[in-house]
Amino acid sequence: MRPILLFVICVSIYACNSSGSKEDESKPNIILLLSDDHGAEDLAYAGNKDVATPFMDQLASEGIIFTHAFATASVCAPSRSSIYTGLYPHKNGCHQNHGEIYDHVKTLPHYLSELGYRVALAGKVHVGPENSFPFEYIERKDIPELLQSAGPQPLCLVVAYNQPHEPYFNKKNGVPYRSIQAKSWLPDTPETKGLTAAYYDNVENLDHEVGSTLYWLEKYGYTDNSIIIYTSDHGPGLPYGKWTLYEKALHVPLIIKWKGKIEAGRFIQAPVSLLDLLPSFMQWAGASELPELDGTSLLPLISGKENTQKPYLFAAYSNLGVQDANSYPIRSVTNHKYKLLVNFNHKEPFTIRMTERMDERSVICAWRVLESWKNAKNNPDFANERFRLFRFRPEIELYDLMQDPYELNNIAEDPEMQMMVKELRNELKKWMVEQGDLLSEQI
């Protein structure tokens, strides 16, 4: 009897220990940490010495860093809709801010629930219509309760933060504007530094929020068999960032961690798109085949079996749905060395509320920054030119991203670059036709 009793006790202990563990499920949990307006260069691990991001740095050290990840648009709704559908904005229907996708388009909660997942979104939504995104919606404060009570069903959880979205406020316990290095793509004025420093404060607030989420994931057993992804919908709310299609508007952080399954400390330099997240999630979730999407799975890159890159990346921006903005459609294409932008309303000034007058909600805003450029004492020619170009842009812009990563020298009129302009313009037109973009007739 004693050996039999001992066997029963051992089996019982094993069953108790196994039933509550998230690590023993065959399908991995998928946790997407999605911030709001965070640029790829604005983390300590990326070499930025003016911002402290210890929690995101730690996550990066434990996973893979994609150094060249890009959004499809530079405002929230179009970018988030692309992430959740795997489709560019004009194909899914949401190509303006506060817009909605087409009724027939399937989204992340459809695909993952069909693969056996519980699919929840905690925090910012900013996609629609709601019935096209059948997430289990919760507040971020309810994440611990969700994790604690979740059963054996695999979980896909999107944690959507509001930080570091403007309006920007400096930390109350600090000096109004701390000493920072001016960004190379912006004129160096006290106002520019003030807005940048306030943005960094919001990035640090975001880092604390990410740290809190990581704590709850560890506390409730979502450590080993969970894939944790961090990214942002697009770049920061600084001039030449958000609301444009320049590199700083689209270049975002992308970290993927899967303990014991993905080699930590790797850097992948192949250009990728946030469109690629959904097909990657589906493959991790066990999909036998993928639907026809604009995105492609990241798994071959992660496994090291392939080191291919997309020949072109595209982006679209309309300026519609942005507060007090005029119609200013922009499209862009890059072959990763050269980037072409087409400003369809180039005969008119580019205008939005945030850059036309003071934002009473904040200590420092984009309008004050742009105004400071008109009377800049440090390199006034550069400041005046950046002020003029922000509002009045040529029809065609072409940049050599290898030689000119900050897109300061438009070479579209260079006689030696006309073949490149033609090539990229043709690729952009072909893509716009495929996407159902009516402006393809004007290119």
Span between the terminal Cα atoms of the chain, in Å: 85
> Which alpha helices (H) appear in 94-235, and where do they start and end?
108-114, 143-149, 190-219
Whole-number Å distance between alpha carbons of 106 and 103:
8
Nearest to 421 by CA among 353, 328, 341: 341
In contact, 300 and 319? CB cutoff 8 Å: no
What is the model's pLDDT at position 17?
A: 38
| Contact criterion met (CB below 8 Å) for 257 and 210 | no
Q: Tokens standing for 404?
A: 């000119």
Long-range interactions of 382-385: CB distance < 8 A, separation 24+: 382/187, 383/187, 383/189
Q: Which residues fall within 8 angstroms of residue 288, CB to CB, at 6 or more apart?
A: none
Q: Which amino acid is at 36?
A: D
pTM of the model: 0.92
DSSP state at residue 142: G
Confidence (pLDDT) at 178: 65
How far is it, in rounded angstroms, from Cα 250 to Cα 241? 8
Local confidence pLDDT in tens for the 443 residues of the chain = 444 444 333 434 333 333 334 444 589 999 999 999 999 999 999 999 999 999 999 999 999 999 999 999 999 999 999 999 999 999 999 999 999 999 999 999 999 999 999 999 999 999 999 999 999 999 999 999 999 998 899 999 999 999 999 887 665 544 445 689 889 999 999 999 989 999 999 999 999 999 999 999 999 999 889 999 999 999 999 999 999 999 999 999 999 999 999 999 999 999 999 999 999 999 999 999 999 999 999 999 999 876 667 899 999 999 888 888 899 999 999 999 999 999 999 999 999 888 888 887 777 889 999 999 999 999 999 999 999 999 999 999 999 999 999 999 999 999 999 999 999 999 999 999 999 999 999 98
Residue 244 CA to residue 86 CA, distance in Å, equals 21
Beta carbons of 247 and 239 less than 8 angstroms apart: no
- Please name which of 122, 95, 94 lies closest in space to residue 107, comparing C-alpha atoms: 94
Q: Which residues pair with 230 in a beta bridge?
A: 33, 255
What one-character DSSP code corresponds to residue 153? S
**Residue-level pLDDT at 357:** 81
Alpha helices in 107-189 (DSSP H): 108-114, 143-149
The pLDDT, as a whole number, for residue 171 is 58
DSSP secondary structure, 351-371, as one string: --HHHHS--TTSSS-HHHHHH
Which domains occur in the chain, in start order? 26-311 (3.40.720.10), 315-442 (3.30.1120.10)
Give CA 343 to chain center in angstroms.
23
Sign of the dihedral defined by the CA atoms of residues 8, 11, 17, 21, in that order: negative
